[in-house]
Amino acid sequence: MMRIITHNGQFHADEIFACALLLEHISDEMPIERTRVIDAVEYTNTETFIVDVGQVYDTYMINFDHHQDETLEASNMLVLFYLRDAGYISDRLCEMYLDKMREISMIDRNGYEDMTGFQVNSLIKSFNSLPNGFDLAIQTARGYVRAQAINELLEEESREAFDNSEAVAFGARICDKFPLFWKSYDECLFLAAPTQDGNWAVHTINAKELPLTPVGNELFFHAGKFIAVYATKEQAVESLLHQSHSI
């Protein structure tokens, strides 16, 4: 039976996300044993993933510790690249994970240095104070990992929705379905699409450089000026024309 071994004591974001990646992409039935005492036979057991403990990095034997070699990335990155190279995840999904996983690894290895704001490492570390903190941390990490996997599946649908959009003015398009990743296409500045409750929303690609301005019939206008909601498609088109003519 496949299982995971990681260290006991205080847990950190790197092994939590390494475990989450394995559970989501190989088997969600793998039990996790937390210990620093590992039987020698486990190091060559190809059904036992040894994560962030054991002083061995060997992808063939599925051992993923980095503490013995300061040049190695943290365990979450070692597991991520293993999953890609072994064919468990696509290159594209690996790319979608990469920025956040690299940040987790960097903080784990080098500390926070001059970083400010919310960090995943701090979030995961905070769970250590709870009796069931490890399980909660794993659940949190798995939620993120699963969401990115679903986003990969939605990419094709997003592209199709955007390609079927209609240009209504310079830099402004309207879609019959919201294309989730439209900002990454860098092909329009303002976009309108229906909301889940039947209204219409207008979005800007960059609220700092291209803030939305109200036209007067908004059901909702966000203070951050990145989204405005209208009752009808016609009102959303009116807003798009206004945004386009304002630049």
Residues 90 and 143 in one domain: yes
Q: pTM of the predicted model, to two decimals?
A: 0.83
109 by Cβ neighbours in 10 Å (0-12 / 13-18 / 19+) ranks as middle
pLDDT (0 to 100) of residue 37: 97
134 with 177, same domain: the answer is no
Q: Which of 155, 175, 194 is the last residue of a domain?
A: 155
Q: Are residues 107 and 211 in the same domain?
A: no
For residues 55 and 177, the answer to whether their CB atoms sit within 8 Å is: no
Domain shared by 109 and 221, yes or no: no
pLDDT at position 216: 95
Residue at which a domain ends, from 155, 184, 202: 155
45-79: pLDDT as tens digits: 999 999 999 999 999 999 999 999 999 999 999 99
Q: What is the pLDDT of residue 117?
A: 73
Phi, then psi, of 30 in degrees rounded to 5: -70, 125
CA-to-CA dists, residue 152 to 50, 96, 175, 198, angstroms: 28, 8, 20, 26
Q: Mark whether 151 and 180 lie in a shared domain.
A: no
On whether both 181 and 150 belong to a single domain, the answer is: no
What pLDDT is recorded for position 198? 95
pLDDT at 118: 79
Those residues of the chain that have pLDDT short of 50 are none
> Can you give the pLDDT at residue 247?
87
Give me the domain span that covers residue 218.
164-245
